[in-house]
């Protein structure tokens, strides 16, 4: 884990939607997650970095089915040239979305990723960002997931904290994992901003 990392120009907030952070379906320790993502968003805004809220479009009947209460983003969005919402149909925020072109057009070289779920949408989005050549910072305390229930004949229950740590580890040595969201620093987009 690296606690002294250079700043990034973008923050990708993955699926911080009501279904996953409030009520009965909330990830364990959702209060901590929301505290960290709130702080990251506020600091990214103040610095002039790009803030991208990814919003998952779940299937019909899912907790995150579009235009249902669970689908709504938890954090208020200050929409503008440096803060956008991108809806996504897949785990990976780059698949069938404008995320890749937005990052390219904005001149982003380095980004931080936070949100839910660690082993699904967070990991998939971070993995593609790494494959595309971005420097990726993943704050350990700013992503979360659910406990994995026991599977008879396979394993006992797996605590969410373990799942999140394994998801980080599986990204390999190129991802920059910081212990705390507070260790992530931001810098403004280039003066030309998004083109």
Q: Where does residue 127 fall: left (phi above 0), alpha (psi -120 to 50 degrees), or beta otherwise?
A: alpha
* Known catalytic residue at 121: yes
Compute the average pLDDT of residues 99-114.
Answer: 98
Single pTM value for the model: 0.95
Residue 5 burial by CB count (10 A; 0-12/13-18/19+): exposed, middle or buried?
middle
Residues 3-38: tens digit of each pLDDT: 578 999 999 999 999 999 999 999 999 999 999 999
Residue-wise pLDDT tens digits, 131-181: 999 999 999 999 999 999 999 999 999 999 999 999 999 999 999 999 999
Residue 90 in tokens: 């897949």
Dmax (CA) for the chain in angstroms is 57
What CA–CA distances, in Å, run from 176 to 1, 62, 63, 65, 112? Answer: 7, 33, 31, 32, 9
Out of 121, 137, 138, 171, pick the active-site residue. Answer: 121
Share of the chain above pLDDT 90, in %: 94
pLDDT at res. 190: 81
Residue 66 has pLDDT above 90, yes or no: yes
H/E run at residue 84: strand 83-88
pLDDT at 194 over 50: no
């Amino acid at each position: 884990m690296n606690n002294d990392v250079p700043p990034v120009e973008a923050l990708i907030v993955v699926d911080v939607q009501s279904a996953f952070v409030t009520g009965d379906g909330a990830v364990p320790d959702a209060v901590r997650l929301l505290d960290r993502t709130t702080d990251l968003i506020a600091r990214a805004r103040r610095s002039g970095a790009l803030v991208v809220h990814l919003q998952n479009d779940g299937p019909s009947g899912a907790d995150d089915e579009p235009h249902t209460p669970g689908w709504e983003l938890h954090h208020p969005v200050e929409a503008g040239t440096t803060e956008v919402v991108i809806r996504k149909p897949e785990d990976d925020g780059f698949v069938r979305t404008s995320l890749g072109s937005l990052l390219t057009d904005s001149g982003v070289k380095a980004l931080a990723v936070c949100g839910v779920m660690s082993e699904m949408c967070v990991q998939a989005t971070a993995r593609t960002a790494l494959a595309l050549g971005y420097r990726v910072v993943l704050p350990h305390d700013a992503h979360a997931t659910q406990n994995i229930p026991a599977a008879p004949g396979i394993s006992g229950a797996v605590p969410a904290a373990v799942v999140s740590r394994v998801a980080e580890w599986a990204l390999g040595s190129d991802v920059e994992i910081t212990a705390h969201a507070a260790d992530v620093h931001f810098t403004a987009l280039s003066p030309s901003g998004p083109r």
